[in-house]
Amino acid sequence: MKWSEAVAAVRTVEVAGRGDVDVRGVQYDSRRVSGGDVFVAMRGGTTDGNRYIDAAIMKGAAAVVTDSREVFDELRERQPELAVALVEHGRRALAEVSAEVFGHPERVLKLSAVTGTNGKTTTAFLLEQMLQSVGRKCVLLGTIETHVAGVVRESEHTTPESRDVLALFYEGVRAGCTEAVMEMSSHALDQERVWGLPVDVAMFTNLTQDHLDYHGTMERYAEAKARLFAGAGAPPPQVAVINCDDPYEETMCREFCGETLMTYGVDEGDWRAEEIELGAGLTRFVWRTPQGAVRIESPLTGRVNVYNLMAAACAAFARGLTMKEIAKAAGSLKQVPGRFEVVPGSREAGFTVVVDYAHTDDALKNLIALARDLVKEQRGRVITVFGCGGDRDRTKRPKMGRVAAKGSDLVVVTSDNPRSEEPMAIVAEVLAGVRETDTACVVEADRAKAIEMAIRAAGPGDIVLLAGKGHEKVQIFADGAVPFDDVAEAARVLKSEVHA
């Protein structure tokens, strides 16, 4: 592709240099540039890509896009033959030039996108499985994993930069995919990392306190989520699937101006769950809809998964599956890693150890409530191990401490990912909430020791909850990340208990 063709798709302020050079790829990280690439230099929250333009040119960049007038003028004077474009919005330009160079794979795939505080990952996984159950090939982008036509790889971000999304879409189209399912975080929507992606079905799960270190207020957090329903550099979604049991339903609905609104819920909604039955490894309900009713039964656990199932089922219906096909798929759905994941070998020990990603007060409250229901018959206890992430919203720390203590019989406060903060300083803020109750509490900042302590304290019929990190395989400290896996740590302790 000629540079003149690629840059024609970008909203530019000014273009200079040769237009007949060949371009073969797009990069925004100078370390990944190879010969023939377009290098998009944009100012971000932590760094300025314009500082690395010379490095990109040295590695063979054929053209440069910059969002700096000063840099553009300097390049035009210093290297008049260099293909260079000045843009107002760097991230929008990255999306526009990437789409053009990759041949617009986003126009081939039907995209279903989910946003919300909790449930995004599970809903995305469930929808992908439902679509696959009728033979459709999918691309999935999410917090835990990325899938391209069934090939699994680890995810670096919940929602990558637009260039990386489009590269995965391109791979998917070449592999025969017709569907894409992705999580859209509030950060990605606010920063326009999903600019220009045409969404067919948009889903909203819920909104509870999180990421206020970035957004500042719940109102701004909600507004960022709601951008999905207005369309970000693309027409609004064809279909909106919105949880009407959530207080922020109205905010999401107000932004939506597409064709079809599907509201789901337990208390209300046009698509709702009735006659709910819950148990360990069982969720059953009647799905009452404008198209009739069908019984849904799945091996998932907990009331929260009623909502996740309904969100995915509504989206699947919008994507053309019949209610009968959805009900059949629900019966064989697989659990998402790190979402109420039972550690192998724990039940044989007479109690249950569960790993879950719950890292907000609302998610932790729901997790503990589910555990409480499951231990009722055996009169077991709920033992909760959790911490709070460093360099994140500090106001939720006492709230999480309060919620954990109110619902649990024993709380072990430990580290999550302390990042640049002192672990015990985080613990102290959590304890402010715990101490509002009379619940027994133990502090152990070393997460491995905390997990061991909780498991050794467990007795018959108890549930030990290891909350906050879920699927994560590292723990992040001020001096970097170290390997750490809650499931592996718990399995190690259980094995040592067996052989003790």
pLDDT tens-place string over residues 473-494: 999 999 999 999 999 999 999 9
Residue 417 CB-half CA count within 13 A: 21
Place of tokens 């549930």: 463
Of 225, 207, 214, nearest in space to 119 by CA = 207
pLDDT tens across 51-67, in order?
A: 999 999 999 999 999 99
How far apart are alpha carbons 151 and 494 in whole angstroms?
32
Mean pLDDT is lowest, of 154-158, 291-295, 433-437, for 154-158
DSSP string, 332-396: TPPPPTTSSEEPTTTGGGTSEEEEE---SHHHHHHHHHHHHHHHTTTT--EEEEE---TTS-TTH
Q: Which residues, other chains included, contact 452 with Cβ-Cβ below 8 Å and sequence gap of 6+? A: 489, 493
How far apart are alpha carbons 117 and 357 in whole angstroms?
12
| 279 confidence band (pLDDT: 50, 70, 90) | confident
- Supply the pLDDT for residue 126: 98
Q: Domain 341-498 in CATH: superfamily?
A: Mur ligase, C-terminal domain (3.90.190.20)
Place of tokens 């200079």: 16
User: Is the separation of the CB atoms in 132 and 49 below 8 Å?
Assistant: no
User: Is the separation of the CB atoms in 392 and 214 below 8 Å?
Assistant: no
Q: Which residues, other chains included, contact 258 with Cβ-Cβ below 8 Å and sequence gap of 6+? A: 202, 229, 235, 236, 237, 238, 239, 240
Residue 366 corresponds to which tokens in the numbers above?
Answer: 């729901």
Q: How long, in residues, is the chain?
A: 500
- Supply the pLDDT for residue 158: 67
pLDDT tens across 138-175, in order?
A: 999 988 899 999 999 887 776 789 999 999 999 999 99
Query: Angle at CA 377, nearest 5°, toward 374 and 383?
Result: 50
pLDDT tens across 182-238, in order?
A: 999 988 999 999 999 999 999 999 998 776 677 679 899 999 999 999 999 999 999
Hey, is 29 helix, strand or coil?
coil
If one counts every other C-beta atom within 10 angstroms of the C-beta of residue 335, the result is: 17
Query: Looking at the predicted structure, is the pLDDT value of residue 30 above 50?
Result: yes
Of 261, 201, 255, 205, nearest in space to 230 by CA = 255
User: Is the separation of the CB atoms in 111 and 200 below 8 Å?
Assistant: yes
Of 163, 160, 164, 169, nearest in space to 137 by CA = 169
How far apart are alpha carbons 419 and 216 in whole angstroms?
20
User: Is the separation of the CB atoms in 17 and 82 below 8 Å?
Assistant: yes
- Supply the pLDDT for residue 141: 96
Q: Which residues, other chains included, contact 475 with Cβ-Cβ below 8 Å and sequence gap of 6+? A: 415, 416, 417, 447, 469, 481, 482, 484
Query: Looking at the predicted structure, is the pLDDT value of residue 376 above 90?
Result: no
- Supply the pLDDT for residue 211: 67
If one counts every other C-beta atom within 10 angstroms of the C-beta of residue 22, the result is: 12
Query: Looking at the predicted structure, is the pLDDT value of residue 375 above 70?
Result: yes
Domain 3-101: which CATH class?
A: alpha beta
Q: Which residues, other chains included, contact 422 with Cβ-Cβ below 8 Å and sequence gap of 6+? A: none
Query: Looking at the predicted structure, is the pLDDT value of residue 467 above 80?
Result: yes
DSSP β-bridge partners for residue 183: 114
Question: Which pTM value belongs to this model?
Answer: 0.86
User: Cα–chain-centroid distance for residue 465?
Assistant: 21
Amino acid (one-letter) located at 316? A
If one counts every other C-beta atom within 10 angstroms of the C-beta of residue 493, the result is: 24
Give me the percent of the chain exceeding a pLDDT of 90: 85
Domain coordinates in residue numbering, the chain: 3-101, 105-330, 341-498
Burial class (CB within 10 angstroms; exposed 0-12, middle 13-18, buried 19+) of 234: middle
Query: Looking at the predicted structure, is the pLDDT value of residue 462 above 60?
Result: yes
Of 143, 130, 224, 150, nearest in space to 182 by CA = 143
- Supply the pLDDT for residue 500: 47
How far apart are alpha carbons 229 and 235 in whole angstroms?
9
Amino acid (one-letter) located at 174? R
For 282, list phi and psi in degrees, rounded to 5.
-150, 130
Mean pLDDT of the chain: 94
- Supply the pLDDT for residue 498: 53
| 47 confidence band (pLDDT: 50, 70, 90) | confident
Query: Looking at the predicted structure, is the pLDDT value of residue 362 above 60?
Result: yes
Indicate the fold that domain 105-330 takes in CATH.
Answer: UDP-N-acetylmuramoyl-L-alanine:D-glutamate ligase (3.40.1190)
How far apart are alpha carbons 466 and 84 in whole angstroms?
52
How far apart are alpha carbons 46 and 31 in whole angstroms?
17
Tell me, what DSSP letter sits at residue 2? B
DSSP β-bridge partners for residue 147: 140, 152
pLDDT tens across 32-44, in order?
A: 999 999 999 999 7
Query: Looking at the predicted structure, is the pLDDT value of residue 96 above 50?
Result: yes
- Supply the pLDDT for residue 458: 96
Q: Is 407 left (phi over 0), alpha (psi -120 to 50) or beta?
A: alpha
- Supply the pLDDT for residue 215: 65
Residue 361 corresponds to which tokens in the numbers above?
Answer: 């007060």
Higher pLDDT among residues 374 and 413, named by residue: 413
